[in-house]
Amino acid sequence: MNTELQSDQDDWMIDDDASDQPLLADARPWRVLIVDDEADVHAVTRLVLSGVVFKNRSVELLSAYSGNEGFEVLAKVPDIALVLLDVVMETDDAGLQLVRRIRDELNNHLVRIVLRTGQPGQAPEERVIVDYDINDYKAKTELTKQKIFTTVISSLRAYEGLVTIERSRIGLSNILNSTSNLYELRSLQEFASGVLNQVNALLDLGAQGAMCVLHDPRQYGEQGPAVLAATGQYSDLVEQKFLPADHPYFDLVSQVLKEKKNLHLFAVSALFIHADLGGNMVIILKPNCPLAELQCSLLSVFCDRIGAAFENLQMFGQLQCAQEATVVSLADLAESRDSDTGGHIQRVAKLTDAIARRLHADGKYADEFTPRFLSCVGLASMLHDIGKVSTPDAVLLKPGKHTPEERRIMEQHVQVGEAVLRRAARSVAGVSHLTFGAEIAGGHHEHFDGQGYPRQSKGVEIPLSARIVAVVDVFDALLHRRPYKEPWPLSEVSDYLKARKSTQFDPEVVDALLSFVESEKPDWLVGSGH
């Protein structure tokens, strides 16, 4: 041990109370690493800092006896707040080299470093302060008990400030990233699940459970908040749909909805999310420990961002409803020209949706299926004959066989429908029902072998949406009465489709349709037109 330190040790031990703050049992301690090759220095430092409490957190002391050992400890323990570091150990500059390694190799710029030396001449203070990223430089001879205490507390306070800034930066970055992902979710349940996932990720607390409820009297009347998503101990609530009035947090949810603000209690936090278009969401969280002030602040920012995403979801829903209503109206217009079809377009829509999902589940045409395709293709199929609004009644409703000229006129409905829908689709951003409707209208009379019309496309050149509707349209038309024919038995319709696999029809689609009909036997398959 350095003789100067030995001689001055009595000054170190000046009686001075460190702190009388109460210690919270669940608070993580401040970790302080002593790096010094002399055991007495470790012993004296531990004696001086014994029982020190700062911000209701105790001080935990770790020891290393060389620069290399200190590096290993720092590499394994990432949340060390302060290093009390000797300069001269295994080499004359071992402490200085460790400073370099902490900042450069570990990329740790948060930990505070205080150099302590018994040989100031080995490393002059002015040069060390300028050349090395340290926070203080002390000769061991000047380190009394009071000065050690002051140095440690000021270093911990500085570390806390840096950690707060870094957590704010990371938290805000996570908020921006998470909420941007939420903007892409289109269903209310998906959105709510995404919110819970992002809250848990943002807090990184391993929440015991969380739930997201929606209060929207326009949608649910007076039935109470609807449970949209839940995790952990609340998972079963999703099946109940509504939050029971006797649930322990029912009153808390009601209070948050009434006061329209976040509430943070000791064991639970309730977050309020508002959207101007109507409906309010409440998120209930059960963290493992009370949230810090910074976490509460970040959650407030998060809720504001979520509110904007929630409103975006509502606007998307309104646009979606408007678009679907437009599609149905257009389809009804087309079907009104031929009342004898008897619900044809509705059955085509159901079958198209079912066949698409069957193909997707079986792994067929995996590259062509997207979530948007699956959500749109059923409704879009209702537009397959929209071009018939331009077909003269004498041709459209003729009970007998068409002449070549009449057939040419009838076939024009394909191009008319496709052209009308493509023009409409250009007014809607992205892929919409109208996009798939145009594909279907223009391609549902193409044949798999290239012998159809209007372009003689073949195989996968024909859009998948059109290949599905081509099968479904013929299947339903044969199964039901038309002006020119009586309904066929299901067995004959099945034989007809099987006979035309790989010529007129996509064989995978035919197999999927027949499999669906055989396994599901839907009661809507044969309607009043049979």
Tell me the catalytic residues: 388
Q: What would the DSSP string read from start to end of 29-90?
A: PEEEEEE-S-HHHHHHHHHHHTT-EETTEEEEEEEESSHHHHHHHHHH-TTEEEEEEESSSS
From 93, 92, 156, 38, select the one nearest 101 (Cα to Cα).
Answer: 93
For residues 157-167, one letter each, b for 16 or more C-beta atoms within 10 angstroms of the residue's C-beta and e for the rest, the string is ebbbeeeeeee
Other C-beta atoms within 10 Å of 264: how many?
16
141: Cβ contacts below 8 Å, ≥ 6 apart: 4, 5, 8, 118
Torsion angle, alpha carbons of 494, 496, 497, 502, to 10: 150
Q: How far, rounded to the nearest angstrom, does the alpha carbon of residue 199 sit from its chain's CA centroid?
A: 10
For 455, the token pair is 């372009």
For residue 351, give the nearest of 388, 320, 315, 381 by alpha carbon: 381
> Pairing state of beta strands 53-54 and 136-139?
unpaired
Strand partners, 213: 227, 282
Q: How far is CA 162 from CA 4, 27, 242, 352, in A?
A: 35, 19, 44, 58
